[in-house]
A and B are shown apart, each in its own frame.
Chain A
């Protein structure tokens, strides 16, 4: 088990969140406190226990491979914060 200590600015970048230095210090302190509590899980020997992903497990869920109605292009674009014609607009990504 790694020592419970969060490198908050690294994690913020992975999370696509930007934090001011004050916010970073505040969250780091709070989250290290939460992680210290979560470390109670280490007190238990969980080595051979099978993990549970879902409490009511279902496997290999498929549906018929047939087309069915979906959103129209206009519906998809209806909530776009910025659009150009029939496309979502984003900041330039290629120089």
Chain B
């Protein structure tokens, strides 16, 4: 059996026992990519030779020594492309440095392998906004993998990656993990350095693992976190051993069900799978309580002010002068900016830049940005209040299973509303994880359903304990 189907935990044991080498793992993953990437379109590029070289030099005494990890194509890795799935960066950009998260991964011994597809600049929830290729859901290739970290989730669930990194601004790790049937963890805002992560919405973006199991998510998170003085929002807090709760029971753990997250409009099959998961958690000794997050209905509107506004500012750096696409037909500097940006960016990126620029333009700031920041306070206060009563909050990750390719294309509002359960977690900066909780049958195919667990700020240990207990009992 190909080692590409293995988990980090299992590979570590086999490496330790001397049964396999890091080279064996990289070779098997490369073979799996060659066999199935044509169908899935998860990787935009990969350099087997470079990974083999690193694997041969890997320090196997390190916790992730020699384990290859797929990287979303918006994290800089020295000498590799970093396209953000955009034409703007596809032609001639090679990263001159490692992102903070990549440095941490390397310190743990891991080997970055391959660049994974995504929605352009992480804007989207289907990966259909990639300018560089279509990624398909491994469970049903007529369907999207979710997004924006769709390549990462499809690669992990499709067994062409051991594990991967993604980034999550409004659900971009958790939702594709739910759609593809794997585990996706967004850490507390500030846990992981954003240095070298191409910025989308800086007050919301966070890097995190996409893995086959909860234990692997904990193992990988152990080698992503920590203060980085190149990211002023990274937190100077203790990094615990995130595996310390794995395998422990959840007797007496208080789990909250927000009534605003259990609503009409959620697919019946998703509701049934989540209800069964809640019963399972209760049978494991958790105490289930009804709670309320009364400002949930403001979440999507708040996000679609803050995220485009921050994006419009962040993407101003793409001017075609220092890197990226430069129009060949501009005669003066203004035309150079207009043409380089218009030729380089795709429709969803343009939509969000336009929306954000409008909302930050003279006369509109108070009406939109300031108002959304106030709404953000109410949403955050809701969670603070809820977490005075419960330890973990549970909900569906997404109101529906994976859509067919093209189903939400060019209907931005309908697509935005799908993020209703994941967005508030980013607005409040909380850790959240999606774990598989069953299937819903559509068109004769069983599609995965994700259970979202939300934790207190910096309490990933409890979150992972609860997620693992559920995963183990399922």
A residues touching B (Cβ–Cβ < 8 Å)? 1-2, 6, 8, 11-12, 14-19, 27, 30-31, 33-35, 37-42, 44, 46, 49-56, 58, 61, 63, 71, 75-76, 78-82, 88, 90-93
- A residues near B373, Cβ cutoff 8 Å: 51-53
- Is B173 engaged at the interface, CB distance under 8 Å to the other chain? no
- B residues near A39, Cβ cutoff 8 Å: 301
Contact of B374 among A1, A50, A56 (CB under 8 A): A50
Given known contacts A16-B338, A50-B377, A92-B332, A40 and B323 CB-to-CB distance under 8 angstroms: no
- Is B250 engaged at the interface, CB distance under 8 Å to the other chain? no
- A residues near B325, Cβ cutoff 8 Å: 81
Q: How far is the CB of B194 from chain A (nearest CB, A)?
A: 12
Once the chains bind, are A56 and B412 in contact (CB under 8 Å)? Answer: no
- Is B337 engaged at the interface, CB distance under 8 Å to the other chain? yes
Once the chains bind, are B457 and A40 in contact (CB under 8 Å)? Answer: no
Given known contacts A31-B355, A41-B298, A41-B301, A16 and B341 CB-to-CB distance under 8 angstroms: yes
Interface residues of B in 431-457 (CB under 8 A from A): 457
Given known contacts A6-B358, A17-B338, A52-B373, A37 and B332 CB-to-CB distance under 8 angstroms: no
- A residues near B245, Cβ cutoff 8 Å: none
Residue of A at shortest CB range from B237? Answer: A56
- A residues near B351, Cβ cutoff 8 Å: 27, 30-31
- A residues near B380, Cβ cutoff 8 Å: 52, 55
- A residues near B350, Cβ cutoff 8 Å: 15, 17, 19, 27
A30, A71, A91 pick with most chain B CB within 10 angstroms: A91
Once the chains bind, are A56 and B354 in contact (CB under 8 Å)? Answer: no
Once the chains bind, are A11 and B190 in contact (CB under 8 Å)? Answer: no
- Is B1 engaged at the interface, CB distance under 8 Å to the other chain? no
Once the chains bind, are B331 and A41 in contact (CB under 8 Å)? Answer: no
- Is B357 engaged at the interface, CB distance under 8 Å to the other chain? yes
Contact of A17 among B300, B330, B354 (CB under 8 A): B354
A49 to B233, CA, bound (A): 23
A30 to B428, CA, bound (A): 28
A49 to B3, CA, bound (A): 54
- Given A49-B378, A58-B232, 11 more A-B residue pairs with CB atoms under 8 Å apart are A11-B361, A16-B316, A16-B337, A30-B412, A31-B358, A37-B416, A41-B375, A49-B374, A51-B370, A78-B96, A81-B323
Once the chains bind, are A79 and B92 in contact (CB under 8 Å)? Answer: yes
**A-B CB proximity, top 7 nearest:** A55-B429, A51-B373, A81-B326, A79-B323, A61-B232, A46-B374, A49-B374
Once the chains bind, are A17 and B429 in contact (CB under 8 Å)? Answer: no
Main secondary structure of the interface of B (DSSP, over half): helix
Contact of A19 among B301, B342, B374 (CB under 8 A): B342
- Is B87 engaged at the interface, CB distance under 8 Å to the other chain? no
Contact of B333 among A12, A78, A91 (CB under 8 A): A91
- Is B181 engaged at the interface, CB distance under 8 Å to the other chain? no
- B residues near A58, Cβ cutoff 8 Å: 190, 232-233, 235
A5 to B128, CA, bound (A): 28
- A residues near B368, Cβ cutoff 8 Å: 38
Q: What are 9 sample pairs from A and B whose C-beta atoms fall under 8 A apart?
A: A2-B364, A15-B312, A35-B358, A46-B378, A52-B377, A55-B429, A56-B233, A76-B96, A90-B333
A76 to B373, CA, bound (A): 36
- B residues near A11, Cβ cutoff 8 Å: 354, 357-358, 361
A42 to B301, CA, bound (A): 10
Once the chains bind, are B323 and A71 in contact (CB under 8 Å)? Answer: no
Q: How far is the CB of B117 from chain A (nearest CB, A)?
A: 21
Interface residues of B in 302-359 (CB under 8 A from A): 302, 304-305, 312, 316, 319-326, 330-333, 335-339, 341-342, 345, 350-351, 353-355, 357-358
Once the chains bind, are A41 and B372 in contact (CB under 8 Å)? Answer: yes
Once the chains bind, are A56 and B429 in contact (CB under 8 Å)? Answer: yes
A14 to B357, CA, bound (A): 7
Given known contacts A8-B354, A92-B332, A78 and B371 CB-to-CB distance under 8 angstroms: no
